[in-house]
Structure 1
Amino acid sequence: MGNIGAERFLPDEVSLSSLREAAAHCEGCDLFREATQTVFGDGVPDARFMLVGEQPGDQEDLRGAPFVGPAGRMLDRALEEAGIDREAVYVTNAVKHFKFEPRGRRRIHQKPSAGEIDACRPWLEAEMRLVDPAVTVVLGATAARALLGPSFKVTRHRGEPVPRHDGAFYVATVHPSAILRAPDRDAAYAGFLADLKVAAALP
């Protein structure tokens, strides 16, 4: 089928609950065929902080909620240390279905393509409009591509506030799963925490 895009699946009356319900039936790209379910955003509707990751992982795909696996636990720890209340944020992903490659009994994460990111963008844009966060924390290159464009480099601009509109900012950093894979996990975590503290300190 290819990437026809999510636009045609958006509901007429847009709220977070209607979006979540409509996204459950999204066939905007081929990822819906293998994934267990759509994993939509979750959290406070008028959150000050919105956290945008790449896509659901294995645990998220099975449980139907974002950031509930090992990367989510890493994120929870860092948010607490940065002084950001995890119960007062909205978390979502640029791509709402798990993309993976079966390997024996395991499902190995695969990076979404540019076409898949673009196909899923209407859901993310609708979430951004509804939540309208003061600070959007962009977790990793896939989220950065979706929100800041293909030329934005997280490695070059991480921890720098980027204006979204008057009084609202993006702050890009690595995805917490990158910390789990890092050769020096302590150093990777320290950098991640420093970026979140920048986000937490924004007015």
Structure 2
Amino acid sequence: MDEDRPGAQEWVPDTGGIGELREAVQGCRGCELWRDATQAVFGEGGEGARIMLVGEQPGDKEDRAGEPFIGPAGRILDQALEAAGIDRSEVYVTNAVKHFRFEERGKRRIHRRPDVGHIEACGPWLDAELDRVDASVLVCLGATAGRAVLGRPVKISAERGVVQAFGRRSVTVTVHPSAILRIRERDPREFAFEEFVRDLGVARDAVRRPAS
């Protein structure tokens, strides 16, 4: 076992709800990312949420505030959820990895993608959220989230917008909203946003029509 990444299982409570998990995650030492991050950022939403959105990891703003999806990507997500007719207050939002991985460039902290070891080390927290939240549909925002949920590499271009059976739940994958932010030209960015809204609509409809 990697001494820097023993895995989070030791710190995940066996009992209690989301509130107890959110409190316990601050003590997690399941991988080395806790050393540089401000805090762990746990998921938010009700345990009765029918849709769970899983992203990659918290960003700079989320790391400082302790809340998921409140930065620029979070604003894109909010707009897309509204356009898809989904109330964000009725979904559960979280990330596959709970600590911010970054590199410093001057005064800026630049996002670094978590590697497979981080995803695996943090997996027990996501498993606990899946156990506590009664979501019937999981939406993986990006390839990292897709790998964390499905346990295999995910190619977004080949799998997005398709509803897959996942135990008693359904899973669909789409882009991470940060991918839309990186598109500089207006028309391609608007098209990418419309596709993202369409994918969220697939998840909305899957709540009523599960994968067979």
Q: Which residue number corresponds to residue 50 of structure 2?
A: 48
| Structure 2 letter corresponding to 1:169 | S
2:146–2:153 CA contact under 8 A, matched in 1: no
What is the aligned-residue identity percentage? 55
Q: Which runs of 5+ in 1 are unaligned?
A: none
The TM-score with structure 1 as length reference comes to: 0.96
- SS of residue in 1 equivalent to 2:27: coil
1:55-103 Cα shifts (integer Å, max 9, x gaps): 0000000000000000000000000010111111110000000000000
2:146 aligned to 144, 147, 158, which one?
144
Which deviates the most, 44-53 or 151-160? 151-160
| Structure 2 letter corresponding to 1:61 | D
Q: Which residue number corresponds to residue 192 of structure 1?
A: 196
| Structure 2 letter corresponding to 1:134 | S
Counterparts of 1:92-171 in structure 2, within 5 Å, are: 92-166=94-168, 168-171=169-172
Q: Which residue number corresponds to residue 175 of structure 1?
A: 176
Q: CA RMSD in A?
A: 1.0
| Structure 2 letter corresponding to 1:4 | P
| Structure 2 letter corresponding to 1:45 | E
Cα distance in 2 between the residues matched to 1:13 and 1:149:
24
2:6 aligned to 4, 7, 18, which one?
4
Structure 1: 4+ residue segments shifted above 4 A: none
| Structure 1 letter corresponding to 2:97 | V
The offset of 1:152, in angstroms, is 2.7
Cα distance in 1 between the residues matched to 2:191 and 2:5:
38
The offset of 1:154, in angstroms, is 1.8
The offset of 1:150, in angstroms, is 2.4
Which deviates the most, 146-155 or 49-58? 146-155
Indicate whether 1:65 and 2:75 are aligned.
no
Cα distance in 2 between the residues matched to 1:14 and 1:170:
25
Indicate whether 1:88 and 2:81 are aligned.
no
1:118-166 Cα shifts (integer Å, max 9, x gaps): 0000000110111030111110011001011223322210000011234
